[in-house]
Structure 1
Amino acid sequence: MIPVLFHLGPLTVYSYGLMMALGFLAADYVIRLECIRRGLDPEYSSSIVIAAAVAGLIGSRVYAILDDLPTYLADPKSMIFSGSGFVFYGGMIGGLLGAYLVSRWYRIGLGVTMDMCAPALAIGQAIGRIGCQLSGDGDWGLPSTVPWAMSYPKAIVGWSPDTVLKLGDHYQLVPACSSVADCLNVRVHPAPVYETILYVGVFIILWSMRKTSHPAGRIMYWYLLLGGSARFIVEFWRVNPRVFYMLSEAQLIALGMMLIGAVGLILTREKNPAVKDQGEKVSREAVGAARA
């Protein structure tokens, strides 16, 4: 675990930030390959990723602040100057909004754009979770005795009774240890590793779909279904408050993603696959017009 890579004067380079940057670069590469395959301007990928990165970081931070407002109000500077406190769902919402605005600017079909973004989202998530693992930002799981369980003594959010938690009798979070020294004996599920593995699997599935004729937007619906399922499963081992029976807030959102994805797949099941080719033709013409 390496939460801080190095310092450049007053600048601190965090491992989470580096992996997040690599995730954006990987997403840009994936979308660029799709632009080339579809006959679109490769620079369209950079426009999408830059807009999604900026909007995603803002959305992620805003979500984190609103989700734990009392803590941030107690230390307002941490709203900006902190290496932790980014939430994926806020980042996804902001990133998709950024991609939507770029697609409108270029006059590219939203369905086509979302299909190119879906595999990129999955691989970006996989790499981003490696950053969570390296930094110890609190995304680990519940205490466990499985052989691969581990501790995070150098976690950026600390490894203490305040962060090493377990589920109580009524599914509330309670300390899993009584002191910092006691916490060193606790091992937990490496939940970020689980998510990395699952999201790589989601990426492989989505990437294999891209050359199959299908209505525009269908790959994104598959992402919502598969990505939501992955998060829903991992949450059973994550240290997050249970807000509805045994389910966490993230699981409820994941269920919403899965529902939207399933409904979208049903609604597009009978559509003519030729819609895809027509959408790509219109998109190529739109990019040419935008460049002109």
Structure 2
Amino acid sequence: MYPNLYYAFKDLFGLNIPLLKLLQTFGFFVAIAFLVAAYVLTIELKRREQLGLLTGIKGKAIIAKPFNMTEVLVHALLGFVLGYKLLGLATEWDETVQDVQAYVFSIQGSLLGGVVLGAILGYFKYREAKKNHAPEIKEEIVTIMPHQRVPDIIVMAAVAGLLGAKIFHNLENWGDFVKDPIGALFSFSGLTFYGGLIVASYVIIRYAIKKNINVWQLIDSAAPSLMLAYGVGRMGCHFSGDGDWGIYNSAYVTDAAGKIVPADPAKFQEMVKASEQFFVRQYGSLEHIPHAAFTKPAGLSFLPDWLFAYGYPHNVINEGVQMAGCAGKYCSVLPVSVYPTALYEIITCLILFAVLFALRKKVTVPGMLFGIYLIMNGVERFFIEKIRVNTKYDIFGFHPTQAEIISSLMVIGGAVLIWYCRKIHKAAKPAI
């Protein structure tokens, strides 16, 4: 696993670039997910605009304004801070120091890097300000098309999605939140996708209504990009080893070097006993370990074992037991391999994205494509929950997870949405 890009570049390319320790693998893939979603959403909005399904509205655009030295100084200050820290990490990094965040918030850095980058950013902002300056603010009326609002939509989705993901995660793990509310709110881990989706959807729909964007066309345009973003985001979970994995596959265990080894029930029990302290800390007793044995079918012998079970060596959350011959911050591996559910979701969601992308021109009833997305995403997540470890609720004798509840509601909501959209579309057709 690659907790951050430093480990990825070192393992894949043999490059030792300490600066990359700042870039967490999970955050990197989340950023990529937003970028690819923005790209797909933009091209789909443009297509619908060309068909006349979406129109723009008039708005004011600033084409010139008075010179503002404060903006120049702010950019110069930002450049100084970035250069001070980035060049410092690149040239003065001490390999014995493992906590990058502590370095960032310390007084360590490169004065030369700060002065150089601060001067560069300040100079470019100065040139831009002088080029477009005027005695007073000048505005002109322009037509703003929906695809031009994608940057605003993505920023709102990122902020609202992060907030929603945090809220829903802490609701799902209320006991941990109560113990350390500040740490739970401001930690870099602990995000629930559906929480982010719900809050972000609410914020963006309100924004669309305010900007007179056809909501039905917008959500249909967003359906393929949402599925793609989810699949790419799951890459961050898998490649960083953030704990978003499945239950244990007791047909396999993991040796001290992180290699997957087939195991019979006796071997599984032996490994559990050998790592008793870890399992008791996680589940309270050895009797409550969630596991299910599934051996690679003989007809699929060409597939790698890690597709069925994985130990997540060097995972970012340091979950598991100490790896032999490893020293440093990320030296843990799961003693018993788990189902790599994030990998399953990556494959499934990329396939579903291709299906939705192919359907976008064939499904012409407004809102219906988004209903199909809701059903697809809900079904996918509902079944993957069967082999994932999550907090379960006790509801009238049933014990669903939060994701199972929401995914079930998504399937129902998607079916109702398709029925409603077909009904109003049929009613809107003129009688012959």
Q: Which has the larger radius of gyration?
A: 2
1:122 to 227, 230, 240: 227
Task: Give the Cα separation in 2 of the matches to 1:38 and 1:88.
Answer: 28
Task: Give the Cα separation in 1 of the matches to 2:218 and 2:426.
Answer: 16
Residues 275 and 196 of structure 1, relative CA distance in 2, 3 Å threshold: farther
Task: Give the Cα separation in 2 of the matches to 1:30 and 1:183.
Answer: 37
Corresponding position of 1:71 = 176
Residues 25 and 275 of structure 1, relative CA distance in 2, 3 Å threshold: farther
What amino acid maps onto 1:30 in structure 2?
A: V
Correspondence list, 1:45-60, <5 A: 45-60=150-165
What SS does structure 2 have at the residue aligned with 1:85? Answer: coil
1:236 to 370, 386, 393: 386
Corresponding position of 1:193 = 343
TM-score of the pair, normalised by structure 2: 0.55
Task: Give the Cα separation in 2 of the matches to 1:247 and 1:222.
Answer: 23
Corresponding position of 1:140 = 245
Residues 17 and 81 of structure 1, relative CA distance in 2, 3 Å threshold: same
Q: Is the 8 A contact 2:161 2:195 kept in 1?
A: yes
Root-mean-square deviation (CA, aligned residues, Å) is 2.6
Task: Give the Cα separation in 2 of the matches to 1:98 and 1:187.
Answer: 40
Per-residue CA deviations over 1:161-216 (Å, capped at 9, x if unaligned) read 8xxxxxxxxxxxxxxxxxxx997431111000111111112211211121125221
Task: Give the Cα separation in 2 of the matches to 1:2 and 1:190.
Answer: 15
- Deviation of residue 257 (structure 1)? 0.5
2:409 to 226, 249, 256: 256
Task: Give the Cα separation in 2 of the matches to 1:98 and 1:17.
Answer: 22
Give the stretch that moved more between structures: 130-139 or 212-221. 212-221
Residues 66 and 182 of structure 1, relative CA distance in 2, 3 Å threshold: closer
What SS does structure 2 have at the residue aligned with 1:235? Answer: helix
Q: Is the 8 A contact 2:378 2:411 kept in 1?
A: yes
What percent identity do the matched residue pairs reach? 33
Q: Is the 8 A contact 2:315 2:332 kept in 1?
A: no
Q: Does 1:110 align with 2:270?
A: no
Task: Give the Cα separation in 1 of the matches to 2:182 and 2:314.
Answer: 22
Task: Give the Cα separation in 1 of the matches to 2:5 and 2:184.
Answer: 22
Q: Does 1:225 align with 2:380?
A: no
Higher relative contact order (CA 8 A, sep 6+): 1
Corresponding position of 1:4 = 4
Q: Is the 8 A contact 1:49 1:99 kept in 2?
A: no
- Deviation of residue 123 (structure 1)? 0.3
- Deviation of residue 28 (structure 1)? 0.3
What amino acid maps onto 1:128 in structure 2?
A: G
What SS does structure 2 have at the residue aligned with 1:29? Answer: helix
Q: Does 1:93 align with 2:198?
A: yes
- Deviation of residue 38 (structure 1)? 1.4
What SS does structure 2 have at the residue aligned with 1:227? Answer: helix
- Deviation of residue 45 (structure 1)? 2.0
Give the stretch that moved more between structures: 138-147 or 86-95. 138-147
- Deviation of residue 273 (structure 1)? 7.1
Q: Does 1:154 align with 2:314?
A: yes
For these two proteins, the number of residue pairs brought into alignment is 256
TM-score of the pair, normalised by structure 1: 0.79
Task: Give the Cα separation in 2 of the matches to 1:186 and 1:83.
Answer: 26
Task: Give the Cα separation in 1 of the matches to 2:32 and 2:390.
Answer: 26
Residues 185 and 71 of structure 1, relative CA distance in 2, 3 Å threshold: closer
Give the stretch that moved more between structures: 39-48 or 124-133. 39-48
Corresponding position of 1:22 = 32
Corresponding position of 2:425 = 272
Task: Give the Cα separation in 2 of the matches to 1:273 and 1:29.
Answer: 32
- Deviation of residue 272 (structure 1)? 3.4
Task: Give the Cα separation in 2 of the matches to 1:13 and 1:127.
Answer: 17
Residues 115 and 158 of structure 1, relative CA distance in 2, 3 Å threshold: same
Task: Give the Cα separation in 1 of the matches to 2:365 and 2:373.
Answer: 15
Corresponding position of 1:165 = none
- Deviation of residue 77 (structure 1)? 3.9
Task: Give the Cα separation in 2 of the matches to 1:110 and 1:87.
Answer: 25
Residues 196 and 274 of structure 1, relative CA distance in 2, 3 Å threshold: farther
Structure 2: tracts of 5 or more residues without a match:
7-17, 55-144, 252-294, 296-304, 322-330
What amino acid maps onto 1:31 in structure 2?
A: L
What amino acid maps onto 1:230 in structure 2?
A: E
Give the stretch that moved more between structures: 101-110 or 20-29. 101-110
Per-residue CA deviations over 1:76-133 (Å, capped at 9, x if unaligned) read 4423442210110111012212221221232111111111111111000000100000
Per-residue CA deviations over 1:126-152 (Å, capped at 9, x if unaligned) read 001000002222110111134321012
Residues 184 and 125 of structure 1, relative CA distance in 2, 3 Å threshold: closer
Structure 1: tracts of 5 or more residues without a match:
162-180, 277-292
Residues 216 and 71 of structure 1, relative CA distance in 2, 3 Å threshold: same
What SS does structure 2 have at the residue aligned with 1:223? Answer: helix
